[in-house]
């Protein structure tokens, strides 16, 4: 076995040991296909108030601008599909935010991963990423053969659906690359048909500024009155286009204790949420990604749903 093969095998085995669903590798190079798409999307203002999307355009497309001498992008998937979901008589929170904030949970695993690489292979330069820098994670995961970009623009996998986080190691170590998989959306339009705000305006194209996740998390101003009655009880994020996707019938519950929700979260009713206090918010969402919208933001969303 060559050194290249040995290093690749070690990295994939280590990813499995650390609990990642899957691991794929691609060459660290300029994303030529994505460049015009991203430019057009920004030009059409599909990012709304997410001005940060306009920053670091070159870095988003070229990993060697993030890590000098980068040779490989190691893409990783980490399952967050819960074993139990919220009360049906409740306002909804996106499943990814049920437990501990994923940034911290996965970042710790990635740091351990890098340490293991150093211990086994030697001095390898690189950085770890989990939704925390200008990295087009879905594009890299698709390039690495972990799935295809579906009509709802999420990464879809035949084996595991789409309820997973995507993370990367960008490293200056040459590895064996994987090949992309084919698209398996076929003629299905379930996600397009189900989106209540018409955010999926064409197959494979999403207007971020119309997405319920954008309105309930990213938007700092008031939610437009024109969207009243369209949110189907989503108060933080939205899983509609994933819930209806046929490939998610293959989702299996995660086994990450840190992603388990606060016990009260699953039993809260609409009236409980409407009476939410700052203290209860702090308890239920102590280390949760929901803190991003703050107590005032969540109250705004609940008030919008209530009216």
The catalytically annotated residue of 101, 108, 119, 131 is 131
- Residue 144's CB: how many other CB atoms inside 10 A? 27
Tokens of 251: 């989702």
Annotation marks residue 101 as catalytic: no
Distance CA 176, CA 216 (A): 41
> Are the C-beta atoms of 155 and 146 separated by less than 8 Å?
yes
Question: Residue 7: which of 116, 106, 126, 129 has the closest Cα?
Answer: 116
3-state secondary structure 199-221: CCCECCECCHHHCHHHHHHHCCC
Is 128 strand, coil or helix?
strand
Active site residues: 131
């Amino acid at each position: 076995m060559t050194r290249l093969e040995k290093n690749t095998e070690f990295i994939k085995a280590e990813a499995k040991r650390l609990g990642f669903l899957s691991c794929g590798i691609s060459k660290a190079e300029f994303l030529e296909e994505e460049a015009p798409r991203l430019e057009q999307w920004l030009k059409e203002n599909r990012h709304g108030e997410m001005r940060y999307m306009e920053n670091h355009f070159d870095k988003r497309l070229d990993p060697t601008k993030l890590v000098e001498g980068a040779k490989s992008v190691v893409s990783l998937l980490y399952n967050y599909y819960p074993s139990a979901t919220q009360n049906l008589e409740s306002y909804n929170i996106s499943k990814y935010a049920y437990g501990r904030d994923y940034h911290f949970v996965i970042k710790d695993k990635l740091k351990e991963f890098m340490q293991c690489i150093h211990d086994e292979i030697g001095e390898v330069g690189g950085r770890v990423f989990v939704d925390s820098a200008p990295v087009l994670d879905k594009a890299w995961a698709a390039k690495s053969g972990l799935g295809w970009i579906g009509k709802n623009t999420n990464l879809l996998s035949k084996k595991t659906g789409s309820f997973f986080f995507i993370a990367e190691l960008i490293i200056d170590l040459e590895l064996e690359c994987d090949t992309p998989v084919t698209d398996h959306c076929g003629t299905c339009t379930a996600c397009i048909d189900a989106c209540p705000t018409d955010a999926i305006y064409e197959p494979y194209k999403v207007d971020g500024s119309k997405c319920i996740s954008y309105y309930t998390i990213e938007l700092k101003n008031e939610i437009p009155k024109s969207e009243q009655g369209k949110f189907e009880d989503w108060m933080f994020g939205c899983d509609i286009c994933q819930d209806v996707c046929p490939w998610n019938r293959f989702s299996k519950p995660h086994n990450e204790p840190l992603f388990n929700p606060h016990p009260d979260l699953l039993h809260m009713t609409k009236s409980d949420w409407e009476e939410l206090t700052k203290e209860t918010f702090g308890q239920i969402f102590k280390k949760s990604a929901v803190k991003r919208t703050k107590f005032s933001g969540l109250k705004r969303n609940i008030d919008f749903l209530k009216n």
